[in-house]
Structure formats: structure tokens, C-alpha cells
């Protein structure tokens, strides 16, 4: 019965060898408890459903953001989100009109496809200076995995923010 593999001899670990461990790199702006790149004016990436829910809750987006954070807020709309709203058609023409508001900044996308969630996640992973405004449960779950990115959402007819250091922003309710 010679086709059995030989028992592998365990190598004794060299106590003087350097131990290598992989450490995930975090940007230096996250060195303290919270993200130092965040500060007024806040850059807020807006998701499609956030605009739709804001309309349902009759909230003026820019004004409500300022009420939430007590500071100047600049809503940003990526090409993907814009394309998503345009695809929704006539039913969401109010959302489209809001999205084309001159107070909103447009962010061009360079990637293929128009899947907005991936686009937003990729963008906040690269640049930690954004707050993501969304009501989408899956997107919120994905963004919570990225350290230092606050999420703005809608609850009780007002905007709330999570994972924002308590030093800035509206008081928690």
C-alpha cells in the first residue's frame, strides 16, 4: 500500500523569524475616534430613494440637511443616481427637478454601468470626505462596513445622521 502520502514532517517554527501579519491600512484622517476630513461645508452624496422619501416627507433637502447638521451642506449627485432617476420616468419627475436644482453639485462617474449603490460605495471608500444620504437598507449596511463614513437617513419626518461624532451635528433624539 505505497500510494499513501507520506506524513508531512512539521517544520519547527524559527523563534527568531519575523512574524508577518497583514494589517489593513486606514487613512490617516481616521486616526482619532472619528473622521477629521468631515467638517462644514459637508459634502453629502445623495441616493435616489433619499430624494423620493424627502418628497414624500415634504422635506426641502438642502434646508433639512442644514437643520440636521447646523452647517452649510452641499448635496452631491453622481451621474449614476441621475441616470437612475431619469430611468424612473414620469412618476418621479419631481425628483428629477429637485436633482437638477443648481444648489446640487454634479459628480461625473468614470466607471461602466449605472449601478448607483456600487458607485456610491466605491466613491466613499476612495474619498472619506462624504456623508452618504440614503434610506436603502442594503446600502446602509454596506456603508457601515466602511470606517468613518456617516450615513444620513430620514426618520420621523426629519433627517438624522448616524456614525457622526457627537461634536458636530444636531443632537440625537
Domain chopping of the chain, boundaries? 45-162
- Architecture of domain 45-162 in this structure: 3-Layer(aba) Sandwich (3.40)
Residue 31: pLDDT over 80: no
Predicted local distance difference test score (pLDDT) of residue 170: 47
pLDDT score of 65: 85
Mean pLDDT of 6-26: 62
Digit-coded pLDDT (tens) for 88-143: 888 888 888 888 888 888 888 777 666 777 888 888 888 778 888 888 888 888 88
Predicted confidence at residue 169, as pLDDT, reads: 45
Q: Give the 3-state secondary structure of the chain.
A: CCCCCCCCCCCCCCCCCCCCCCCCCCCHHHCCCCCCCCCCCEEEEECHHHHHHHHHCCCCHHHHHHHHHCCCEEEEEEHHHHHHHHHHHHHHHHHHHHHCCCCCEEECCCCCCCCHHHHHHHHHHHCCCEEEECCCHHHHHHHHCCCCCCEEEEECCEEEEECCCCCCCCCCC
User: For the whole prediction, is pTM greater than 0.85?
Assistant: no
The pLDDT value recorded for residue 105 is 86
132-156 pLDDT, tens digit each:
888 888 888 888 887 778 888 888 8
Amino acid at each position: 500500500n505505497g500510494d499513501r502520502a507520506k506524513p508531512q514532517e512539521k517544520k519547527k517554527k524559527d523563534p527568531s523569524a519575523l512574524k508577518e501579519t497583514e494589517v489593513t491600512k486606514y487613512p490617516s484622517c481616521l486616526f482619532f475616534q472619528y473622521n477629521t476630513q468631515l467638517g462644514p461645508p459637508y459634502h453629502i452624496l445623495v441616493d435616489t430613494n433619499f430624494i423620493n422619501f424627502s418628497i414624500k416627507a415634504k422635506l426641502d433637502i438642502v434646508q433639512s440637511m442644514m437643520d440636521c447638521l447646523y452647517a452649510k451642506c452641499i448635496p452631491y449627485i453622481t451621474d449614476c443616481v441621475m441616470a437612475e432617476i431619469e430611468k424612473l420616468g414620469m412618476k418621479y419627475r419631481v425628483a428629477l427637478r429637485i436633482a437638477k436644482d443648481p444648489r446640487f453639485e454634479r459628480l461625473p462617474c468614470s466607471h461602466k454601468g449605472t449601478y448607483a449603490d456600487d458607485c456610491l460605495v466605491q466613491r466613499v471608500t476612495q474619498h472619506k470626505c462624504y456623508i452618504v444620504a440614503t434610506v436603502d437598507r442594503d446600502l446602509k449596511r454596506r456603508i457601515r462596513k466602511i470606517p468613518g463614513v456617516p450615513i444620513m437617513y430620514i426618520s420621523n419626518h426629519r433627517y438624522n445622521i448616524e456614525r457622526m461624532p457627537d461634536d458636530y451635528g444636531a443632537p440625537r433624539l
